[in-house]
């Protein structure tokens, strides 16, 4: 075994307790939530498909950066579908489960950002936009594939359930679909919501890359100084103005459902 292989093996063994602790916390919170009827089976499915959607979003940033000349993510061993490489203990596990449990049961979270050295890209200003938009673009593609899969399932495998009607409004109860249909539909929902949310042009969301590209070079130092301060604005929007965010994301979700059904 080479020295590099021994070092990687040692690092993996050192990280194993952390991985086990993260998994135990997640499972414990979910079990408690289910036992106290605070988390439905639909919520469990939504959370289960949320994790791979976020991972693929993050990996795509690193893959596109590699194509454009920066191998930072590759050297950091982040171009992998191993979820433990991307887990942020609070943002990927604790926060999403807590938000799924408390009303209005919105799922929000983040993975560890994939490292990208913008100065190593071949054309830093232009390529950084492509790297940023790779995440939402991946989510849009996945949402499209999930939508096609769901459409084929209800056409050729399982007939759609009867709608629930109240007064002049009719809607479909997601729990009335077959399990496979629920998983595919929720995977599509998660990806279209991730794409829409991340395209909001507020730093550090991916959509802010377009704003950054349009700024003159002389304004960039000041922009970089205040950029991370906008993270507080995003968190305030999520925690304290969920009505506005829920309406926005709800409209996106309804549009997607009407498109694929």
The residues carrying an active-site annotation are 58
Tokens 């999520």 belong to residue: 238
Pick from 205, 185, 184: nearest CA to 196: 205
DSSP assignment of 3-63: HHHHHHHHHHHHHHHHHHHHHHHHHHHHHHHHHTTSS-HHHHHHHHHHHHHHHHHHHHHHH
Which residues have a Cβ under 8 Å from the Cβ of 212 and sit 6 or more positions away? 128, 129, 203, 220, 223
Q: Which residues pair with 166 in a beta bridge?
A: 169
Pick from 106, 116, 54, 43: nearest CA to 83: 54
Burial class (CB in 10 A: 0-12, 13-18, 19+), 91: middle
Query: What is the Cα–Cα distance from 254 to 242, expressed in whole angstroms?
Result: 17
Query: What is the Cα–Cα distance from 199 to 63, expressed in whole angstroms?
Result: 19
- Whether the CB-CB separation of 223 and 122 falls below 8 Å is answered with no
């Amino acid at each position: 075994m080479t020295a590099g292989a021994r070092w990687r093996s040692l690092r993996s063994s050192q990280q194993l307790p952390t991985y086990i602790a993260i998994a135990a916390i997640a499972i414990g919170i979910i079990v408690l939530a289910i036992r106290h009827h605070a988390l439905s089976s639909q919520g469990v499915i939504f959370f289960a498909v949320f994790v791979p959607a976020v991972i693929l979003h993050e990996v795509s940033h690193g893959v596109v950066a590699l194509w454009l000349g920066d191998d930072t993510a590759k050297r950091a061993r982040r171009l992998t579908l191993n979820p433990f490489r991307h887990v942020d203990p609070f943002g990927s596990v604790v926060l999403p489960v807590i938000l799924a449990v408390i009303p209005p049961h919105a799922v929000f979270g983040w993975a560890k950002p994939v490292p990208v050295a913008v100065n190593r890209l071949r054309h830093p200003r232009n390529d950084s936009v492509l790297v940023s938009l790779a995440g939402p673009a991946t989510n849009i593609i996945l949402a499209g594939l999930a939508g096609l899969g769901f459409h084929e399932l209800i056409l050729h495998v399982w007939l759609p359930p009867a709608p629930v009607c109240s007064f002049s409004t009719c809607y479909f109860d997601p729990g009335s679909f077959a399990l496979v249909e629920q998983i595919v539909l929720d995977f599509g929902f998660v990806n279209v919501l991730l794409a829409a949310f991340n395209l909001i042009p507020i730093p550090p969301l991916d959509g802010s890359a377009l704003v950054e590209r349009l700024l003159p070079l002389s304004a960039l130092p000041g922009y970089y100084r205040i950029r991370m301060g906008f993270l507080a604005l995003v968190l305030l929007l999520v925690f304290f103005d969920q009505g506005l965010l829920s309406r926005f994301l709800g409209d996106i979700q309804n549009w997607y459902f009407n498109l694929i059904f």
